[in-house]
Structure 1
Amino acid sequence: MDRDRGELVSSADGEVRGTQSFVRTLSECWSRPSLTLLEVLWRWTFGAPVALLLWHIGKRIFANTQLDASALEAMTVTRPLEAAQTLASAGALLLPPVLREAVWLVPLLLIAWVVWSTLGRTFVLRRADPELYVRLGTTMVLQLLRVAALAGAFALWLVSLHWAATTAVTRPLERGGEPNLVSYFALVIVGTLAVFALWAVVSWFLSIAPLLSMLRNLGIAASLSAALRLGEVKGKLVEINLVMGIVKIALLVLAMVFSATPLPFESVATPAFLNVWWTIVALLYFVASDFFHVARAVAYLKLWGAYEPQSISGPRNGSEAQVSSEGARQTSLRP
């Protein structure tokens, strides 16, 4: 325990820094590619069938909807208002059939995701630390709570988009003026970043609760209670969550940049080449995202191992002696 904790401790202030431990964890996860491969495996075995299902349903909806294809093809960024009106008309036609499909599809996919992600994440964490407890039922419920909270964050984001559109577009048009598109996009960017940062700050306990249930063999209520009583570890978890938010934004920006790289050579690049290029960029983005998801979970494990004896009280699986002995083993990844 002392040796592993010393690897995380800053020589300047003697405290474990969230970003410092996270960078070290990235290096360790990079040296253990099997963790990322397992993460990719369980995510893609769920995502690929779901993508095919959505593609099939989308094709059926488009085939049964009378859309003005010529108007959609004529859209251009140089005439944003006309493009917005065209999209609004298409959306009004597509919304009813989409909602009819969503009534049965969304609950089905939600339940499937909760079950499959619990199994997959448990498998990955057990690979990182074989001595973790298996708490599938507890982890499923906690995962469902996190998904519900994430849905609330998306709802808040949509509300912010509606407010931005009302402020910068709708109200000026009602007064007979011109919409302020620069203001609209500025409000959208600021609102998106605000919701993103808010989620990173408040969602840490929903991410650590399933880990605590596996680390300490706890139930649902006990895991949530323990997640809210982590003492000084809270700041470290929030710090790592914020870093993960920045990393996700950076990955998305890099994906968009690489996707646009061939566009200046569009006169010589064939559509087939562009499709292959965009597919490769998308796959690399998803693999990188999966790697950082693994690194965050492992960083949580290492922080818990470094701080547990000082900041988390209570027996693990009914034994005080187990807390100190098993807290020591949680600190490092198993080779």
Structure 2
Amino acid sequence: MRGTQSFVHTLSTCWNHASYTALEVLWRWAVGIPTLAAIYRWIVPAIVSAHVDWAALRNMTILDPVASAATLGTALSVILPPVLEVARWLAPALLILWILISSIGRTVVLRHADPTLHRRPATLIVLQTIRLAALLASFFLWFRILETAAAATITNPIAANQEPNLVGYCAAAIVTTLVLFVLWAVLTYTLSVAPLLAMLRNLGPLESLRAAFRLGPLKSKLVEINLVMGIVKIALIVLAMVFSACPLPFEAVATPQFLTLWCTGVTVVYLIASDFFHVARLVAYLQLWRAYESKP
């Protein structure tokens, strides 16, 4: 059976066991709510204190992308210094909070799905740190590639009094994002399955990583599920954007409060749906492993 075929059955299982998603939502929001509070407490005042030309930002238009980019650049040059000053200590604190709570939360969710799993919170903390470092490295690589593409297609031509190649930059951004997305899905399944192997076999961080690279016939199924999950994430983002834009044709009669509540509701639904599919992926890994173990 292909990985996606078993994944459909897993989705049904997770749908019938809403407590899986509820626990996932609980621990994720246990991180998200303090993070939002910290942003409101320290980041927002830093932005407000910056002397930003908000009128210029409101007057930006996609009909003049070069001028809009210049306006954004000017605003960021004012906003970034005070924000980075706060982020130097706030970002590491929030990352540590995420690592600790996610490791504990993931343990609770997996043991709720399969009580026979071992508790390995310390191992999961190490593995989560490695995964987070890999994710940050991928974002850094993505940003540097886009920065290089921007220099080649926009900045350098403008400096030479030439027309910027916005189409070329957009094409480079799309291709880069898709390539890195596929590489992440194909190469990082080990980081996703290693915590599960640690709890299944009662392994430490290094042993679970080694085991994640030696999955034999399960490897292709895990990669397939990872790719499907990536596509699902993109689909969820697109759906969230579409539903967020639904009230815009009625902007003349809809109040700003309604639009805010609508977008907030769409965001909450998106986050819950995303959590559901995260749980489904973990349960799919678990079921695939149990099926693999049961084979003679």
Q: Deviations 1:29-70 (Å, cap 9, x if unpaired)?
A: 001111001111111121011112112222211232111222
Instruction: Look up the SS of the partner of 1:29 in the other structure.
Output: helix
Q: Among residues 160, 171, 174, which one is paired with 2:145 in the alignment? A: 160
Aligned counterparts of 2:179 and 2:23: Cα–Cα separation in 1: 32
Aligned counterparts of 1:198 and 1:51: Cα–Cα separation in 2: 31
List 4+ stretches of structure 1 deviating above 6 A. none
| Aligned residue runs from structure 1 range 7-156, under 5 A | 16-156=1-141
Aligned counterparts of 2:168 and 2:243: Cα–Cα separation in 1: 27
1:283 and 2:268 are equivalent in the alignment: yes
Q: Deviations 1:91-125 (Å, cap 9, x if unpaired)?
A: 11122212211111111111111110011111011
Instruction: Look up the SS of the partner of 2:117 in the other structure.
Output: coil
Instruction: Specify every segment of 5 or more residues in structure 2 that has no aligned partner in the other structure, as ranges.
Output: none
TM-score by length of 2: 0.97
Letter in 2 for 1:300: Y
1:202 and 2:176 are equivalent in the alignment: no
Instruction: Give 1:309 deviation, angstroms.
Output: 5.7
How many positions carry a matched residue from both structures? 296
RMSD: 1.3
Of stretches 172-181 and 216-225 in structure 1, the one that deviates more from structure 2 is 172-181
| Aligned residue runs from structure 1 range 164-179, under 5 A | 164-179=149-164
Instruction: Give 1:191 deviation, angstroms.
Output: 1.1
1:212 and 2:197 are equivalent in the alignment: yes
Structure 1 residues 162 and 223: CA distance shift in structure 2, 3 A: same
Of stretches 275-284 and 300-309 in structure 1, the one that deviates more from structure 2 is 300-309
Contact 2:47 2:82 in 1 (8 A): no
Letter in 2 for 1:156: L
Q: Which residue of 2 is the match for residue 222 of structure 1? A: 207
Aligned counterparts of 1:219 and 1:62: Cα–Cα separation in 2: 43
Q: Which residue of 2 is the match for residue 251 of structure 1? A: 236
Instruction: Give 1:21 deviation, angstroms.
Output: 0.8
Q: Deviations 1:258-317 (Å, cap 9, x if unpaired)?
A: 11111111111111111111011101100000000000000000111111366xxxxxxx
Q: Which residue of 2 is the match for residue 299 of structure 1? A: 284
Q: Deviations 1:130-172 (Å, cap 9, x if unpaired)?
A: 1100011111101110000111111111112112212221232
Q: Deviations 1:163-187 (Å, cap 9, x if unpaired)?
A: 2212221232233211122222222
Of stretches 261-270 and 209-218 in structure 1, the one that deviates more from structure 2 is 261-270
Contact 2:50 2:78 in 1 (8 A): yes
Letter in 2 for 1:81: V
TM-score by length of 1: 0.86
Instruction: Give 1:210 deviation, angstroms.
Output: 0.6
Instruction: Give 1:218 deviation, angstroms.
Output: 0.7
Instruction: Look up the SS of the partner of 1:269 in the other structure.
Output: coil
Aligned counterparts of 1:134 and 1:20: Cα–Cα separation in 2: 30
Aligned counterparts of 1:71 and 1:235: Cα–Cα separation in 2: 51
Aligned counterparts of 1:164 and 1:258: Cα–Cα separation in 2: 32
Instruction: Give 1:127 deviation, angstroms.
Output: 0.6
Instruction: Specify every segment of 5 or more residues in structure 1 that has no aligned partner in the other structure, as ranges.
Output: 1-15, 311-323, 325-335
Letter in 1 for 2:124: T
Instruction: Name the structure with the higher helix share.
Output: 2
Instruction: Look up the SS of the partner of 1:133 in the other structure.
Output: coil
Q: Which residue of 2 is the match for residue 9 of structure 1? A: none
Aligned counterparts of 2:215 and 2:44: Cα–Cα separation in 1: 49
The higher radius of gyration belongs to 1
